[in-house]
Chain A
Amino acid sequence: MPDLDNPFVLLFTGLGGTLLFASLVGLVLRHAVAKGQPNAVIDNLVARVNAWWWMVGLLGLVFWLGRDAVIGFFALLSFLALREFLTITDTRRGDHQALLASFFLCLPVHYALIWVDWYSLWSILVPVYGFLLLPILAALSGDPKRFLTRAATIQWGVMVAVYCLSHLPALLDLRIPGHEGDGMLLIAFLILVVQGSDVLQYVWGKLLGRHKLSPTLSPSKTWEGLIGGLLSATALGAAMSWITPFTPLQAAGLAFASCVMGFFGGLVLSAIKRDRGIKDWGHLIEGHGGMLDRLDSLCFSAPIFFHLVRYFWT
């Protein structure tokens, strides 16, 4: 008999049910609409749902393993995201030391500081020390060609993929009076709301999408998708307030702010992809693209959510 008092059990049971429903929808569409023939939209939908099974399962496992596993897991996600980001940039041979430092110095030290819960240092490590160190390493190679572009690109990659994303596991160390040790639930809340918003924007856009929002950056985004997705994800946040320290209204407000930031994260990273002439950041997740295609919204929402909660609740 599952422990129904445990919010995680309920949460993941709910997620499993939702995915089961999505898989059934895919199965029905495949037989009724595509009649067993290849169909780009339906095949992509099924691939996405299958990938969600993996992602939810992995996340469940990591949560079950506990705090160390969660921090290690996000360090790995940062690594994969940073790798995707830096791969498409135009760095030169003279950037090799700076690239090495971003992968093997900035990333592990930053996550180690989160692990030992040293807020006053991790919160400035990348924006201050990393910011200054990386261009110094590049300058030492003596190559001035496109220097500012190269230096700024690497700094940007570390900020988004390591610093911003790491605010998710950093939620573990927020001490909210009366809710100590509930950090894992805050992470689950944010991931669910923001990823839910991405999915719901996609669904609403596919169902009702008429007016393109930003044809130059992200042709698939529509106003109908955005408004429908934001409103339903906000409602989802309110409905999930029972796993958080927030009232339903507060949860709705935080969910709304997070999803707006998440939307802009997707838009900004789309602009970079457009500029580099690529459609996806990678091919790591079948049907979704790369790690950054899935994490773009979380990279932009996590720091804001973290600081809103930290300021108003601790």
Chain B
Amino acid sequence: MLARLAAAAITTATRLLTGARTIWTAPPPPGLQRVYFANHSSHGDFVLLWSSLDPRERARTRPVAGADYWNGDPLRRFVGQRVFRAVLVDRNPATRTADPVEQMLEAIDADDSLILFPEGTRNLTEERLLPFKAGLWHVGRRRPALNLVPVWIDNLNRVMPKGELLPVPLLCTVRFGEPLHVEEGEAKDAFLHRAREALLALAPEQDDR
């Protein structure tokens, strides 16, 4: 109950602050189960994505997140585990006790949707998108029917151009693309390249503004 209230409060607050606008560039795929994969430049990214989903989709959609951050303190633990029902993965292969891919598959087989940031960490560089980690390919290969939906989270560059002191409170946009699938026998690098290009294709022209 408390978790549901917190979820409603977080969704409403996020909507009010960023007014996240949702755009499907292709018709949403049939069936509600999806793996959303998105660019990642801020801690708020998945909240933004999550809040911009239809309530019925949101209820079954879980972010895949770093255990080191979300196990940080009791509040983060409550929010991460109870509110967002995050699939917490250990990002450090050395200390890992569970395979992140198996954790994701477990959630998928329980009929949940996932939010995944294939860059693996926040992108604080000049590059638009960092190289992808392999998790998306592993999941897509083992569940070939699953819809892998690229999602571009946009507008931070207009809200706060580099070098400016004050942000302009413009609305952020969450743009959903056409779902991908790992083709029969498709190599890891080929797929990850294709997925990355599909995500970049959703990004608006950079110099247009």
Interface residues of chain A, those whose CB is within 8 Å of chain B, are 79-80, 83-84, 86-87, 90-93, 96, 99-100, 103-104, 282-284, 290
Contacts and interface: CB of A to CB of B under 8 A. Distances in A.
Nearest to A279: B23
Contacts of B21: 87, 282-283
B169 A103 contact: yes
A99 B168 contact: yes
Contacts of A86: 168, 170
Main secondary structure of the interface of B (DSSP, over half): loop
Contacts of A99: 168, 170
- Please name the 4 residue pairs, one residue from A and one from B, whose CB atoms are nearest each other, closest first: A87-B171, A99-B168, A87-B170, A93-B161
Interface string B167-179: 0111101000000
Given A99-B168, A283-B22, A290-B19, 14 more contacts: A79-B169, A83-B171, A86-B168, A87-B21, A90-B209, A91-B158, A92-B209, A99-B170, A100-B166, A282-B21, A282-B171, A283-B20, A283-B21, A284-B16
Counting chain A CB atoms within 10 Å of each CB, which of B19, B22, B173 scores highest? B19
8 contacts: A90-B209, A99-B168, A99-B170, A103-B168, A282-B21, A282-B171, A283-B52, A284-B15
B52 A96 contact: no
Contacts of A87: 19, 21, 155, 170-171, 173
Interface string B131-164: 0000000000000000000000001001001001
B184 interface: no
Contact of B169 (A83, A90, A91, A284): A83
Given A91-B158, A96-B161, A283 B170 contact: no
Interface in B1-42: 15-16, 19-22
A236 B92 CA distance: 67
Interface of B: 15-16, 19-22, 52, 155, 158, 161, 164, 166, 168-171, 173, 208-209
Given A91-B158, A96-B161, A283 B166 contact: no
Contacts of B15: 283-284
A284 B209 contact: no
Nearest to A79: B169
B19 A83 contact: yes
Contact of A284 (B19, B158, B164, B166): B19
A87 B166 CA distance: 16
B209 A83 contact: no
Contacts, number: 46
Counting chain A CB atoms within 10 Å of each CB, which of B22, B168, B169 scores highest? B168
A104 to B, nearest CB: 8
Contacts of B20: 283
A90 B168 contact: no
Nearest to B208: A90
A290 B170 CA distance: 13
A96 B168 CA distance: 8
A229 B170 CA distance: 34
A309 to B, nearest CB: 33
A15 to B, nearest CB: 23
Nearest to A92: B209
Contacts of B22: 283
A125 B4 CA distance: 46
Contacts of B161: 93, 96
A93 B159 CA distance: 10
A84 B171 contact: yes
A103 B52 CA distance: 24
Contacts of A80: 19
Contacts of A92: 209
A285 to B, nearest CB: 10
Contacts of A104: 166
B123 to A, nearest CB: 20
Contacts of A79: 169
Contacts of A290: 19
A282 B22 CA distance: 8
Contacts of A84: 19, 171
A282 B209 contact: no
A129 B103 CA distance: 60
B23 to A, nearest CB: 8
Contacts of B164: 96
A90 B208 CA distance: 8
Contacts of B155: 87
A94 to B, nearest CB: 10
A62 B171 CA distance: 25
